[in-house]
Amino acid sequence: MSLTDFIDALTGRMTLEALPFWKMVQNPTPENIVNGAIATGVAAILVLAAIAVLALLTYFRLWRTVWFDWLTTVDHKKIGIMYIVLSFVMMLRGVVEANFMRANQAVGFDGGFLSADHFGELFTTHGTIMIFFVAMPFLSGVINYVLPLQIGARDMSFPVTNAIGLALTASGAMLVMASLLFLPFSIGGWTGYPPFTGKEYSPDVGPNYWIWAVTLSGLGTTLTGINVACTVYKKRCPGMDFWKMPMFVWASVTTAILMIFALPPLTVATAMLALDRYLDFHFFTTDAGGIPMLYANLFWLFGHPEVYILVLPAFGVWSEVFATFSGKTLYAYRTLVWATLSIAVISFLVWVHHFFTMGQSAGMNAVFGIATMLVGVPTGVKIYDWLLTMYRGRVRITTPMVYALGFVMLFVIGGASGILLANPTIDYQVHNSVFLVAHFHNMVIPGTLFGMLGAYSFWFPKAFGFMLDDWWGKLGASLWIVGFMLAFFPLYAVGLLGLPRRSVAYSEAAYTPYTVVAMLGALVVLAALGAMFWQLYVSIRNRDALNVYAGDPWDGRTLEWSISSPPPVYNFAVGPEVFARDAFWEEKRAGHAYQIPDQWEDIELPANSWLAPILFFSSFTLTFGLVWHMWWLVILSLLVVVGALVARSFVIDRERTIPADVVREEHLRWLKAVREAPSAPRELEVAPGNWGRPQSEAGVPE
């Protein structure tokens, strides 16, 4: 074997062309220079950011903390927080990419400044990232953090599996990030339709990146789903039967069921695409009998339930937020539960509406169109229930409520455009135009994203022990709402005028005013992100004044508010027992809150595990090797994966015990703080001086 053979085996299909600046240097046309400069700049920022993080960790000697408190942790609260951090990092990238696309289309009359391939990479990474690495980790993170607290549990059913789920999701995100340094990513859109993404039309490695990133995320999601479902089934505290579960728990368990049952078709579809590309199978090729349409069918068997995976947790959040800030119990709880469950089932019956135009018979389209419209019914029920929860309540407008109100109004508009699209005859006119882009952003931004940002503002004080600054929070929320409307309402119009989605350029001057407004909207959204980061900074600076250690800043209703902020590692000093749905609220009403337990026990918690970080690194190297055909890396990583799993099965599960004395001392210290905290009336809820001890309205008749 010669040296060049050796190097070839080492680098697989990677050559110098993978570097972001290579094309610009080799062939400096103006177009290559613009695109190369952008790509290189972004890559440089990424590298510098990574170096800065590593340097800071070293400088502040934080490596031990990072390893022992975070990377190897199996604590559901920390895992939840890491999910959300991951989501914010990826969101930054997603929104910046969106701004590039919007800027390009604003000047897109007869050609923007981006090359077609670059634009293609942008909408593909943007879509993939926003769905799989922003929305999904965010909701997994919120569920992880909140759900065990709400059901009075000390952790999830399978803490190590939980950590592995995060590890796989994070390594998928890292793979997408790696594609900034070693180009190219796929240009086949977030749906990755073959035959375009097959090897005949996309011989480069781009689709490989997409396939493996999505696969990793899918595996992580499946594990999360199993874990959440099992936790809700097996870990509820005494007294919490199904009809006493908080609405967010219902939403989470329904989401989990969807995760478990909806991911398989995606896994199969991407696996088949991978076989086509790597081993010359012929599932989706245009020759040898392949049927590309089968891919679309399988993808949307996943894709439609996926949109409910995205939105149901947000529905759960709204249910908590509306009830809490109206000081009222949730209106028609049972119908909300039934609505949630029926949405879950119906979501498996409508997938064909994503390809009305593929050529199936009109009768079939009619069936699926009608089924689709049916989803509007339970969703409408929910909207009315939330409105009626506010009706005659003492509604308090806090940051989460700003998101909630924005959601209600915008989501109804998005839903209405969805009902339009559910009619196949209309869909034939506007499919594949930016009308559709407007529709789904109208669902996913006010729905999922506002839901998650609302959850962030709602539960942040629980997780960190201090409030987020309300003024900056409201500014951020308002900018999100305004930015969204500016960015997407024009797209409805210009979509009807005929602008196709995924267009790098257009030849119709009439489109320009709309795309310019849309660009401004995207800038406002960027400003909203800025406001949120500034809010975080301001709040951390003022954390002493914003302290809510006592734990109940919002006059909360459910169990998570009955403990300190941040909660102790073991969550509950003594396992709670509940007698009502709004368990904590009823305790406050009866004057039983904050009692001193008469018995203390040692608490056993699962010990840290090195399995998740090992799988994080090895699944990244495994998939990176697969992308670039570096077979030595693939084999090596596979050995590590299997070896780690087998070795782990021989390790006797260690538990660490927290002695009763420590629990008692911590708990009494907290109770003392609760007693000493001045109790804040609701008018001072968002001002410094809300110490987390409400002058509760639970005593006041509703």
Partner 1 sequence: MSQARHPGLKLGHEHDPGSGEVEALVFGFWIFMMSDLLIFGCVFATYVVMLPQVADGPSAAELFHLRGPLIETTLLLASSVTIGFALLETKHRADKRRTTLWLAVTFLLGAGFLFSSTHSLLGHLENGAGPSRSAFLSAYWLLVPLHALHVAIGCLWIAVAAAQVRIRGFDWVTTGGLLRLSIYWHFLDIVWIGILSVVYLGAMI
Partner 2 sequence: MSHMDKIDESGGQMESRADERSSYLRGGIASVVLTVIAVLAVVSDVLPDWAAWTTIAVAGILQAVAQLHWFLHIRLHGQAWEDLQLIFFTILILVLMVGGTIWVMGDLTARMM
Which positions lie near ligand HEM, rule CB under 6 A?
95, 98, 101-102, 123-124, 126-127, 130-131, 134-135, 189-191, 434, 437, 441, 444-445, 448-449, 487, 501-502, 522, 525
CA–CA dist 35, 20 (Å, integer): 9
* Segment holding 492, helix H or strand E: helix 470-497
Distance CA 372, CA 353 (A): 7
Task: Report residue 352 as tokens.
Answer: 């064909």
Burial (Cβ within 10 Å: 0-12, 13-18, ≥19) of residue 230? middle
Task: Answer for the pair 146, 560: CB distance below 8 angstroms, yes or no.
Answer: yes
**Binding map of Cu ion across residues 419-458, x = CB under 5 A, - = no contact:** ----------------------------------------
Of the two residues 161 and 360, which places its CB atom closer to partner 2 in the complex? 360
In terms of CB distance, is 265 or 418 closer to partner 2?
Answer: 265
Task: Using CB under 8 A, pick the residue from 352, 452, 468, 583 that binds partner 2.
Answer: 352
287 C-beta neighbours (distance < 10 Å), count: 8
Report what 161 binds from partner 2, ligand HEM, Cu ion, none; CB cut-off 5-8 Å by kind: none
> d(Cα 57, Cα 686) in Å, to the nearest integer?
34
287 or 598: whose CB is closer to partner 1? 287
Q: Does residue 359 interact with partner 2 by CB under 8 A?
A: yes
Least Å distance between CB 103 and ligand HEM? 10
CB atoms within 10 A of CB 161: 17
360 binding partner 2? (CB under 8 A)? yes
Answer yes or no whether residue 473 interacts with partner 2 by CB under 8 A: no
Q: Which of 430, 410, 411 has its CA nearest to residue 422?
A: 430
Asked if 265 touches partner 1 (CB under 8 A), the answer is: yes
By CB under 8 A, how many residues form the interface with partner 2? 19
Distance CA 539, CA 535 (A): 6
Smallest distance from partner 2 to CB 296, Å: 9
Q: Which positions from 364 to 383 touch partner 2 by CB under 8 A, shown as an x/- string?
A: x-------------------
534, burial (CB in 10 Å: exposed 0-12, middle 13-18, buried 19+): middle
Instruction: Tell whether residue 361 is a contact of partner 1 (CB under 8 A).
Output: no
Phi, psi of 361 (to 5 degrees): -70, 160
Q: Does 351 bind partner 2 (CB under 8 A)?
A: yes
Q: Exposed, middle or buried: residue 232 (CB in 10 Å: 0-12, 13-18, 19+)?
A: buried
b/e code 11-29 from CB counts within 10 Å (16+ = b)? ebebeeebbbbbbbeeeee
| CA 3 vs CA 9, 10, 440, 585: distances in Å | 10, 10, 52, 73
**Which C-beta is closer to ligand HEM: that of 124 or that of 171?**
124
What is the spatial distance between Cα 24 and Cα 40, in angstroms, rounded to a whole number? Answer: 10
Residues 219-278 that bind partner 2 (CB under 8 A): 233, 257, 261, 265
R_g of the chain computed on alpha carbons: 26
Binding window for partner 1 (CB under 8 A); candidates: 142-150, 268-276, 421-429, 578-586: 268-276
Scanning 127-135, 352-360, 487-495, 551-559 for contacts with partner 2 by CB under 8 A, the matching segment is 352-360
**Buried b / exposed e along 602-641 (16+ C-beta atoms within 10 A):** ebebbebbebbbbbbebbbbbbbbbbbbbeebbeebeebb
Closest residue to ligand HEM: CB criterion = 127
496 binds partner 1 (CB under 8 A): no
Per partner kind, with CB cut-offs from 5 to 8 A, the member of ligand HEM, Cu ion, partner 2, none near residue 352 is partner 2
Is 348 one of the binding residues for partner 2 (CB under 8 A)? yes
Q: Out of partner 2, partner 1, ligand HEM, none, which partner does residue 361 contact, by CB within 5 to 8 A per kind?
A: partner 2
Q: Which is nearer to ligand HEM, 133 or 284 (CB)?
A: 133
The three-state secondary structure class of 655 is strand
Element of type H or E holding 367: helix 362-390
| 261 binding partner 1? (CB under 8 A) | yes
Please, which of residues 286-315 interact with Cu ion by CB under 5 A? 304
Our finding on whether 650 is near partner 1 (CB under 8 A) is: yes
Residues of this chain that interact with partner 2 (CB under 8 A) are 233, 257, 261, 265, 291, 293-294, 297-298, 301, 348-349, 351-352, 358-361, 364
Residues of this chain that interact with Cu ion (CB under 5 A) are 304
Residues of this chain that interact with partner 1 (CB under 8 A) are 157-158, 161, 222, 225-227, 229-230, 233-235, 260-261, 263-265, 267-269, 271-272, 275-276, 279-283, 285, 287-291, 294, 298, 301, 646, 649-650, 652-653
